[in-house]
Structure 1
Amino acid sequence: MRLAETVTFGGSGLDRAAHLRGDADRLAELARTGRILPVWRGKPLCLPDEGLGWVAAGSPVLAKAGPLVFLGLDEGRAVFAADISDWPPEAGAEGVEQGFLDTTQQRHPALDPEFCFAELRAVMTGLSPREAELAATAKAVLHWHRSHGFCSACGAASDMAEGGWQRRCPACAASHFPRTDPVVIMLVTRGNSVLLGRNAVWPEGMFSLLAGFVEPGETIEAAVRREVQEEAGVRIGAVRYLASQPWPFPASLMLGCAAEALSAKITLDPAELEDACWLSREEMVTVMAGRHPRIRPARPGAIAHFLIANWLADRLD
């Protein structure tokens, strides 16, 4: 495996067993002995410091669950995800969006108190590669079902099918599939320096690599050049692909690229960035060590952190 594939949420070799998705009877049989990951409003069930929290079929936690989504076979055992977003937590325990990161945790009365529903970004670095892939898949697919309950062709309510990997319209017979939106994220360098930017809504001191959605009819390389030019006014020459990361917030695929800057002057688009700057390799070492007076390091587990750390170590491949 290339180093580039070790990024958080990267491929863990999960057997997704797509050949089983169309066999509803077999999936029902597997669910009776498999493991099920409950997800509440995008938050997977967790055992802090131990990983994901799993339940068995028939658990009272699943009383308000929607249809199960088949995630695949983990070491031969079937694993599923269940959306329990209709479960109402006790008064005062509702999930509250707290700025950039929701730090609240919810506990279900049917489970031991050490179990909790937690924001995936807050626990992702404590998950094994397999758990991270399962959690990312579950969060993304379940969000798609909650936000795409009606046929985009005729407007009728659609039904989950193929183990959760399709929605079918009973009115016009159209089939719909989970969405993944490609996003380029760029390690833009010029000599010994790297380009960082920050969005106005981010926490104080948070900077990261520039990123943006790939537009229809656009190549990855063209998207890199356009986004950097639009956001920071910096012209880009050579572009090469480095690594990718599923990013289920809610449904992106981050395409990490190295880009060589042809100009250094920064001209901000204030609608995109509040600030941007060039930092030398030596300054970035200080940032990543948490000792910079103004700039905080990128979030561990995110591809921005992965790309910067490996650039500093001179081991991007």
Structure 2
Amino acid sequence: MPGPLALSRSTVDRAADRRADAAWVDSLWADGATRVLLVGDGMVPVDGDALRFVAPTDAPDGDRFLLGLDDGVAFVAVRLEGKPDGGATLREVGAVLGDRDAGLAVHAIALANWHANHRFCPRCGGRTRPESGGHMRVCEVDGSQHFPRTDPAVIVLVVDERERCLLGRSAAWPGRRFSTLAGFVEPGETPEHAVVRELYEEVGVRVTSCRYAGAQPWPFPSSLMLGFYATAAGDDPVPDGDEIAEARWFSRDELAAAMGRGDVLPPSGISIARKLIEGWYGGPLPIDVSRR
């Protein structure tokens, strides 16, 4: 795939080996040099192309977690119940943030989403509390430990023997939006098996081979997108009508013409889907911005 994936960039040492040292983590919150990121409702505060931090003394109450260290400076986060002032989503700013800030934002939003949905123990229903720098919750009743979850999903660009790519339109999307096909990996299944199953379930296409292309965190709310290129015979796709409303094969010239007319809108520029398509196309897609 061409270029870096917008949400896969990170330069911060997560200091995973020190999270369990509660005294050390507490000392970071007492250090005036520590930078605190406020996160809530899937948003982080942004000034232009950079995250906006506050000092520990200005941080509100809320779940706290350690994001990591960079050049001796600690970066931590606080989960808010609402949106932070000046908040923006990853879809809005993921591509413009620098490598360090992109990694911090993805990490913070993913953790905040998990903490918001795991305040009670799945075993006994008791309340849980954050520990290990916010990378674990412990039940206050039975003492069980619970860790952040990530849901693996495959996202696939299928190419046939005529070098055409297969794109589909979700039933929930606007009529011109097309993208690669995707689906979650089921329990006891490998990503490669999921590629074969999902393509057949969604559009009736039988994959003959696939190869891993790269991965990107996708905290909407907690996915990890595993990108693949796959091959298949160019049989007419048969959309399931439930998840996929429409699916079509495109040659490079056909895709460029369809986008030029405004008949097809590509996936977001921060998505791994876009990178997979551009990898097959051979460069940036010829998008008419005025038609978005």
Q: TM-score scaled by structure 2? A: 0.91
Q: Indicate conservation of the 8 Å contact 1:4/1:242, yes or no.
A: no
Count, aligned residues:
281
Identify the residue that residue 169 of structure 2 maps to in structure 1: 198
Alpha-carbon offset, residue 284 of structure 1: 2.9
Alignment of 1:1-317 (within 5 A): 6-31=4-29, 32=31, 33-47=33-47, 49-59=48-58, 62-63=59-60, 65-86=61-82, 108=85, 116-190=86-160, 191-286=162-257, 290-313=259-282
Distance change (3 Å), C-alpha of 1:293 and 1:201:
same
Please give the secondary structure, in 2, of the residue aligned with 1:9: helix
Alpha-carbon offset, residue 107 of structure 1: 6.8
| Letter of the structure 1 residue corresponding to residue 45 of structure 2 | L
| Letter of the structure 1 residue corresponding to residue 49 of structure 2 | E
Over aligned residues, Cα RMSD in angstroms? 1.9
Q: Deviations over 1:159-204 (max 9, x none)?
A: 1000000001121111000000000000101122101111122234
| Letter of the structure 1 residue corresponding to residue 281 of structure 2 | L
Between the aligned partners of 1:4 and 1:286, the Cα distance in structure 2 is: 22
| Letter of the structure 2 residue corresponding to residue 266 of structure 1 | P
Q: Indicate conservation of the 8 Å contact 2:40/2:84, yes or no.
A: no
Alpha-carbon offset, residue 263 of structure 1: 4.2
Between the aligned partners of 1:304 and 1:208, the Cα distance in structure 2 is: 7
Distance change (3 Å), C-alpha of 1:176 and 1:5:
farther
Q: Indicate conservation of the 8 Å contact 1:5/1:244, yes or no.
A: no
Instruction: Give the unaligned 5+ runs of structure 2.
Output: 285-292
Q: Indicate conservation of the 8 Å contact 1:41/1:83, yes or no.
A: no
Distance change (3 Å), C-alpha of 1:8 and 1:286:
farther
Q: Indicate conservation of the 8 Å contact 2:39/2:84, yes or no.
A: no
Q: Deviations over 1:222-275 (max 9, x none)?
A: 100100100001111011100100001000000000110134211110111111
Alpha-carbon offset, residue 12 of structure 1: 2.4
| Letter of the structure 2 residue corresponding to residue 35 of structure 1 | R
Alpha-carbon offset, residue 13 of structure 1: 3.6
Please give the secondary structure, in 1, of the residue aligned with 2:216: strand
Between the aligned partners of 1:107 and 1:244, the Cα distance in structure 2 is: 29
Between the aligned partners of 2:207 and 2:274, the Cα distance in structure 1 is: 21
Q: Deviations over 1:118-162 (max 9, x none)?
A: 122111111112211111110011110110111111110011000
Between the aligned partners of 1:145 and 1:129, the Cα distance in structure 2 is: 24
| Letter of the structure 1 residue corresponding to residue 142 of structure 2 | C
Q: Deviations over 1:78-135 (max 9, x none)?
A: 101111225xxxxxxxxxxxxxxxxxxx674xxxxxxx11122111111112211111
Between the aligned partners of 2:283 and 2:53, the Cα distance in structure 1 is: 39
Between the aligned partners of 1:255 and 1:107, the Cα distance in structure 2 is: 30
Identify the residue that residue 90 of structure 1 maps to in structure 2: none
Identify the residue that residue 93 of structure 1 maps to in structure 2: none
- Compare 191-200 and 252-261 and name the one that shifted more: 191-200
Instruction: Give the unaligned 5+ runs of structure 1.
Output: 87-105, 109-115
| Letter of the structure 1 residue corresponding to residue 260 of structure 2 | R
Between the aligned partners of 1:308 and 1:211, the Cα distance in structure 2 is: 13
Between the aligned partners of 2:235 and 2:101, the Cα distance in structure 1 is: 41
| Letter of the structure 1 residue corresponding to residue 147 of structure 2 | F
Instruction: Using the aligned pairs only, state the percent identity.
Output: 41
| Letter of the structure 2 residue corresponding to residue 55 of structure 1 | V
Distance change (3 Å), C-alpha of 1:165 and 1:4:
farther
Between the aligned partners of 2:135 and 2:215, the Cα distance in structure 1 is: 22
Distance change (3 Å), C-alpha of 1:156 and 1:41:
same
Q: TM-score scaled by structure 1? A: 0.84
Between the aligned partners of 1:70 and 1:254, the Cα distance in structure 2 is: 24
